[in-house]
Amino acid sequence: MKIQPDILASALLVASSQLAWAQASCSPTPTYTFTPEQLRNANRTLSIGYVVYPGYAILDVFGPLQFLEGLSWPFSINLSIIAKTAGPVGSRPPPHHTPDGSIMDMSRMIDVQLIATHDFQTAPPLDILIMPGGVGDLHLVEQNDTAIEDFIASRFNTTEYVLSVCSGAGFLARAGVLEGRRATGTKAVWDFVTQFGTNITWVPSARWVEDGKVWTSSGVTAGMDMMVAFVRHLYGDPRVNNFVNNLEYLAHVDPRWDPFSVLHKVPGANMSIPLTSTVSPLQPYPEEA
């Protein structure tokens, strides 16, 4: 599919955005407004924990983590990678059964091993808990292994934020922490994710959903867009945008734009969502922000 952008519209967009940037950068003494929470976050240490398991999806973990890693230079962030057993955890999914009862052996897939720093017993207090998805969840569900859900449930009330990516929302649902909330998950296996939990308003068309302390994203790479929105929420645009631009990341900033809900014909999806959207770098700020 070849898309020819509308030249005039494009030129107008660029002119308006460059004007806005020029205005921002010409201001000799810019003053920025931060929320009390943003001021507090910039001056404290945030304890962030990722839960991983064999068969985690690589970018569910490392996509959002790139943004947190970079921001651990200007800000104080501690990271714990938490698994059933500390040590190497691989991305290769363990075998699971298909609906017809046969075994799905995925041992041909390449295996990327990261090192979990803590187990569920040794994990420190967490301000933020992040739950990635991955095909490995099929094995855990099949085995009735609820160690992760038990950990989430035990930590939910003492964390300030809980985030999930892709099928990670299934873990939150099974842990019971999505009750009474709006949430989303990957559109590629929507039926699987949304079968869990009770009294959850699953949002079929959403790149991500923010409901109070719980942020849930759609599939895999949607987690990066959620994380960009989340760190802008945590620290404020003037302290985050330049960093995102330095990663040369082009964030989708409208959580309602979800062309994949249309593509996958998710039940209840807003089928009038355009498949095409525009992106640009985030508004830059003078370095002293």
Per-residue binder mask for a second copy (CB under 8 A), 149-178, x = binder: ------------------------------
Residues 6+ apart with CB under 8 A from 142: 96, 97
Which residues are CB-contacts of 278 (< 8 A; sequence separation ≥ 6)? Answer: 13
Identity of the residue, 68 or 129, whose beta carbon is nearer to a second copy in the bound complex = 68
Does position 22 interact with a second copy (CB under 8 A)? The reply is: no
Q: Which of 215, 252, 255, 269 binds a second copy (CB under 8 A)?
A: 252
Would you say 39 or 247 has its CB closer to a second copy?
A: 247
Listed as own residue / partner, the contacts of 63-69 with beta carbons closer than 8 Å and 24 or more positions apart are: 63/165, 63/220, 63/221, 63/223, 63/224, 63/227, 64/130, 64/163, 64/165, 64/223, 64/224, 64/226, 64/227, 66/224, 66/247, 67/224, 67/227, 67/228, 67/231, 67/243, 67/244, 67/247, 68/227, 68/231
Q: Which of 209, 185, 210, 208 is nearest to 266 (CA)?
A: 185
Asked if 14 interacts with a second copy (CB under 8 A), we say yes
Closest contact distance (angstroms) between CB of 10 and a second copy is 5
The residues in 31-70 that bind a second copy, with binding defined as CB under 8 A, are 57-59, 61-63, 65-66, 68-69
∠ CA 92-89-116, rounded to 5°: 155
Nearer to a second copy, 59 or 177 (CB): 59
Q: How far is the CB of 188 from a second copy (least distance, A)?
A: 4
Site string for a second copy, 108-127 (x = CB under 8 A): xxxxxxxx------------
Per CB under 8 A, contacts with a second copy among 254-283 are 259-260, 263, 274-283
Interactions with a second copy, residue window 198-227 (CB under 8 A): 218-222, 224
Q: Is 287 one of the binding residues for a second copy (CB under 8 A)?
A: no
User: What is the total count of residues that contact a second copy (CB under 8 A)?
Assistant: 74
3-state secondary structure of 204: coil
Other CB atoms closer than 10 Å to residue 127's CB: what's the count? Answer: 18
Pairing status of strand 45-51 against strand 214-217: unpaired
Residue 176 beta carbon to a second copy: minimum distance, rounded to whole angstroms:
26
Among the candidate windows 102-110, 119-127, 147-155, 172-180, which touches a second copy by CB under 8 A? 102-110
The answer to the question of residue 1 lying near a second copy (CB under 8 A) is yes
Our CB check for a second copy shows the closer of 59 and 269 to be 59
Give the Å distances, CA to CA, from 287 to 42, 69, 103, 243.
16, 19, 55, 10
**Residues 152 and 51: beta-carbon distance below 8 Å:** yes
In angstroms, what is the minimal distance from the CB of 271 to a second copy? 10
If one asks whether residue 234 binds a second copy (CB under 8 A), the answer comes out as no
